[in-house]
Structure 1
Amino acid sequence: MTRTEGAGGIDPRVLWREQDRPRRGRRPAFSREAITAAAVAVADAEGIDAVTMRRVAAEVGAGVMSLYSYAPDKETLLDLMIDHVSGELPTSGPLTGDWRADLKTIGRHQRANMLRHPWLPAAVQARRTLGPRTLAFVEHALAALRPIGLDGAARLEIFAQLTSFVAAHVAYEVGQARAAQDPGRAAADAAYLAEVAADGSHPELADALATAGRPVTPDAMFDRFLTRLVDGLDAG
């Protein structure tokens, strides 16, 4: 693969547009798709830090050096992994013409995808280039936003804003789920907040904690936040 001069990484034209060109010589023992799928499986099970070239090579039964012709560094492998899981996102479903409703549906699909792959929220923030599956989803989202009446650049900004929100929220959800695995600590945290609210020094917090609670299931909370974000977008 060809590195981009001075840019630190693989030329995206080589990475994404030349992958399917026929190669001369002996048929390779492994495919880039299989290697990427193995890396995704490791990240899903053990986290992104567990993904190393040596570990992925062991998963597919290859020598470490043979992997470098497919992904010469971990950053490139991560780009491949992001695009691989982007293939799980719908790109051809019918759009309603109601851009707010369609955008909320897109956000829910993104959340489900990131929950299946908890390493993804952090990874998308460091993504360097968009692969073909990711581009197909972006195209779908921009089409959903066409009725908003804004130009393409503004629609792309809205989609980026939605993606950033979903990534941050899923990272929060994953962290909360891990914290909930320690019920003793959760009970201690609740007791601490109750004491703080009762001491009179934080009246606004006390009022918030005393207010009748809304549904706190992960799905209900995400939908409330998503609705506030999307319904607050200015279509003018």
Structure 2
Amino acid sequence: MTRTGTSGRAAGVDPEALWAPAARPRRGRPPAHSRAGITAAAVALADAEGLGAVTMRAVAARIGAGTMSLYSYVPNKETLLELMIDEMSGGHRLPEPSGDWRADLRHLFHEQRAIMLRHPWLPAALPARRTFGPNTLAALEYALTVLAPAGLDARAGLEVFGLLSGFVASHVTHELAQEQAADGTGDAFHQAQARYLRSPAVTAAHPTVARALAAPDGPASPDATFDRLLNRMIDGLTATA
């Protein structure tokens, strides 16, 4: 459960202060660092060493600053995580809607998957997000705009966006785990699995499961698998009957 203070803001994160336009710099010596630079350093650290490596101390060391001085730019790690997540949302390449809302929606979530595959820490970070930054809002605006012809009301559109984003994060987490588990033995593993599922012991005890999992033509490519599942999710979540 998200903790809130008397103002109603999520504990540790002040959305108004976080996403407000940057104030004009005061006269005199310019700041040594910027939120953008700090965010980029945190993202690079997470890419290289995982989300667990991102601490205020480690990020400060990466930009050559003292830990305490970092707090004058970013008040806490929760806020830094919000900045990192929103920075990733800025990686979506979103063309003008084509008029084919299903194709546009598929494009958005293929982009989301590509971003997560480039930044494997991102799926694990998303559940901790407490607020929507400008880049995330731009992706949401795009999704709701292209969904308009589907005939969903505003709340349903938001739910579709959230559920599809959750599906992408879950799917990418599974993809990355499978890739790590295979460790270069993917083809051999799939062949061994197919032989096991065709074995008399399995087919006799679980015939329906064995037929479903045997996949005689071999596994589909990751891209094709994702696209097939995404299409099913879109069909189910946008059905209005």
| TM-score when normalising by structure 1 | 0.88
User: Kindly tell me: are residues 112 and 191 of structure 1, through their superposed partners in 2, closer, same or farther at Cα, counting changes over 3 Å?
Assistant: closer
- Give the superposition deviation at 1:21: 1.0
1:5 partner letter: G
Q: Say how many residue pairs are matched.
A: 230
Which of residues 121, 131, 134 is equivalent to 1:132? 134
Supply the distance in 1 between the matched residues of 2:126 and 2:142 (Cα, whole angstroms): 18
Supply the distance in 2 between the matched residues of 1:97 and 1:68 (Cα, whole angstroms): 46
Contact 2:198 2:214 in 1 (8 A): no
Supply the distance in 1 between the matched residues of 2:219 and 2:117 (Cα, whole angstroms): 20
Summarize the alignment of residues 1-236 of structure 1 with structure 2, pairs less than 5 Å apart: 5=5, 7-18=10-21, 20-24=22-26, 26-91=29-94, 93-181=95-183, 183=185, 187=189, 190=192, 194=196, 197-199=199-201, 200-213=204-217, 215-232=219-236, 233-236=238-241
Contact 2:42 2:59 in 1 (8 A): yes
- Give the superposition deviation at 1:212: 3.0
Supply the distance in 2 between the matched residues of 1:35 and 1:150 (Cα, whole angstroms): 40
**Unaligned stretches of 5+ in structure 2?**
none
Supply the distance in 1 between the matched residues of 2:126 and 2:89 (Cα, whole angstroms): 11
Contact 1:82 1:123 in 2 (8 A): yes
**Unaligned stretches of 5+ in structure 1?**
none
Supply the distance in 1 between the matched residues of 2:64 and 2:153 (Cα, whole angstroms): 49
Supply the distance in 2 between the matched residues of 1:33 and 1:183 (Cα, whole angstroms): 40
User: Kindly tell me: are residues 193 and 57 of structure 1, through their superposed partners in 2, closer, same or farther at Cα, counting changes over 3 Å?
Assistant: farther
- Give the superposition deviation at 1:210: 3.3
Supply the distance in 2 between the matched residues of 1:100 and 1:217 (Cα, whole angstroms): 21
Supply the distance in 2 between the matched residues of 1:189 and 1:76 (Cα, whole angstroms): 47
Supply the distance in 2 between the matched residues of 1:189 and 1:70 (Cα, whole angstroms): 53
Supply the distance in 2 between the matched residues of 1:214 and 1:206 (Cα, whole angstroms): 14
Supply the distance in 1 between the matched residues of 2:136 and 2:33 (Cα, whole angstroms): 23
1:108 partner letter: H
- Give the superposition deviation at 1:229: 1.1
Supply the distance in 1 between the matched residues of 2:38 and 2:50 (Cα, whole angstroms): 17
Matched residues, percent identical? 54
| TM-score when normalising by structure 2 | 0.87
Supply the distance in 1 between the matched residues of 2:170 and 2:142 (Cα, whole angstroms): 22
Supply the distance in 1 between the matched residues of 2:51 and 2:191 (Cα, whole angstroms): 29
